[in-house]
Amino acid sequence: MTYHSGRHFLQLPGPTNVPDRVLRAMARPTIDHRGPEFRELTLGLRDALRWVFGTRHPVLVYPSSATGAWESALANALSPGDRVLAFAQGFFADKWVRVAKGFGLDVRVEAQDPRRAVDPDRVADILRADEGETIKAVLLVHDETSTGVLSDVEAVGRAVRDADHPALFMVDAVSSLATVDYRHDAWGVDVTVAGSQKGLMLPPGLAFTAVGLHALEAHVSATLPRAYWDWTEQIAFNARGFFPYTPATNLLYGLQESLAMLREEGLDAVFARHARFAAATRRAVTAWGLETFAADPAEAAPGLTAVMVPEGHDADALRWKILERFDMSLGTGLGPFKGKLFRIGHLGDLNDLTLMGTLAGVEMALELAGVPHTPGGVAAAMEVLVGADGP
Ligand SMILES: *Cc1c(COP(=O)(O)O)cnc(C)c1O
């Protein structure tokens, strides 16, 4: 292995860079998870978690990858054979569908241009046409991390309500939370799922499920098997500051610190920072003469940019060159996008110079890998960073 001086650039769209403050917070002795100090810790986390999800209702925390939160959402609120509506948004939407099918749910997957956001009017039309109210849940991925396309949760939530249909609205906010505005209650979301290793700046290992009142009502009569994920048990234990099983104590220390950091920066500033980074990155891509996978800049995710490589070139070969030469990790093309695109993560704990280093690494590697492009993307991005309103 070649020796690399300096720090590794972890510019994946998750896991993201873990701030030193969070690392230090986690480097503390594990405590008794049934004792008073632990109780203090979890009760303190409760309000901060509700704040970041925009809800007054319970936010459950599981020791799990975010995939577990998908299971939590489905298993707790639905019954065997229930019909759910999903859209072919990309790799993560497909994976959620696979979990739903694994539970024996009747999943109706609507075709979807992966380069575009889900159209709220189509959601409304499908629900209006569902006269027997057979659809029990609508699944939507907010930021489809495999494509870098952001759907409008607020508009889809409004479409569900306007259709006057009782389907539960379930949203995967795994890579959007703490990168862009999110309001579980105000947007009529019934279940939100999220994970620790993206905008929350934590290592992988925690999954979140925010549960609204309609979902809790559905939970009472839902009959899919549930045990580890059971909301009733979680909520009862959480109310006393505890968990039904051994929690990931040290990750909770980290969570406490990352939520404090988000509070200090302010969510609006966090969102504005991500929007600037996304705009600067898009400007670089355009200046290189390359194309972002998101077809409409207004639908581009603030946390990552998926970049298509020209026909005849392999995005993974480029990524390897970047890793080898510049010690930087970028996201690969997932599923059908393998080799066709790479993904620049610009979410979580980064600043202007981190982004400039990232884009410089890409521009140098485009040259080294012989990918046809126009130099000057970094300079174009700099113009956005110094021109746009700074923090
Ligand atoms: C990362 C991600 C997931 C999966 O998270 P895991 O922790 O790997 O289970 C799900 N959905 C989206 C949108 C993601 O970005």
Segment 188-245, tens digit of pLDDT: 999 999 999 999 999 999 999 999 999 999 999 999 999 999 999 999 999 999 999 9
Parallel/antiparallel/unpaired status of strands 191-195 and 9-11: unpaired
The residue whose CA is least distant from atom 6 of ligand 1 is 66
Going from the Cα of 347 to the center of ligand 1, the distance in angstroms, rounded, reads 14
Q: Is the CB of 141 under 6 A from ligand 1?
A: yes
Closest by CA position to 242, among listed 254, 252, 255: 252
pLDDT for the residue numbered 389 = 53
pLDDT for the residue numbered 227 = 96
Q: Is the CB of 92 under 6 A from ligand 1?
A: yes
Q: Which atom of ligand 1 is nearest to the CA of 14?
A: 1
Going from the Cα of 92 to the center of ligand 1, the distance in angstroms, rounded, reads 7
Are 17 and 9 spatial neighbours (Cβ–Cβ below 8 Å)? no
Going from the Cα of 67 to the center of ligand 1, the distance in angstroms, rounded, reads 6
Are 198 and 16 spatial neighbours (Cβ–Cβ below 8 Å)? yes
Domain positions in the chain: 9-16+266-385, 31-263
Q: CATH classification of 31-263, choosing from 3.40.50.410, 3.40.1260.20, 3.40.640.10, 3.40.50.2300?
A: 3.40.640.10
Residue 115, classed as helix, strand or coil, is: coil
Low-confidence ranges of the chain (pLDDT < 50): 390-391
Q: CATH classification of 9-16+266-385, choosing from 1.10.3720.10, 3.90.1150.10, 3.30.450.20, 3.40.50.920?
A: 3.90.1150.10
Test site for ligand 1: of 65, 174, 191, 193, most ligand atoms within 8 A of the Cβ: 174
Q: Is the CB of 195 under 6 A from ligand 1?
A: yes
pLDDT for the residue numbered 271 = 98
Q: Is the CB of 329 under 6 A from ligand 1?
A: no
pLDDT for the residue numbered 2 = 80
pLDDT for the residue numbered 1 = 67
Q: Which atom of ligand 1 is nearest to the CA of 141?
A: 13
Q: Which atom of ligand 1 is nearest to the CA of 197?
A: 7
Q: Is the CB of 253 under 6 A from ligand 1?
A: no
Test site for ligand 1: of 64, 72, 92, most ligand atoms within 8 A of the Cβ: 92
The residue whose CA is least distant from atom 5 of ligand 1 is 66
Going from the Cα of 150 to the center of ligand 1, the distance in angstroms, rounded, reads 14
Going from the Cα of 371 to the center of ligand 1, the distance in angstroms, rounded, reads 30
Q: Which atom of ligand 1 is nearest to the CA of 70?
A: 10
Q: Is the CB of 210 under 6 A from ligand 1?
A: no
Q: Is the CB of 203 under 6 A from ligand 1?
A: no
Is the peptide bond between 120 and the residue preceding it cis, with omega within 30 degrees of 0? no
pLDDT for the residue numbered 388 = 60
- DSSP state, 331? B
Residue 42, classed as helix, strand or coil, is: helix
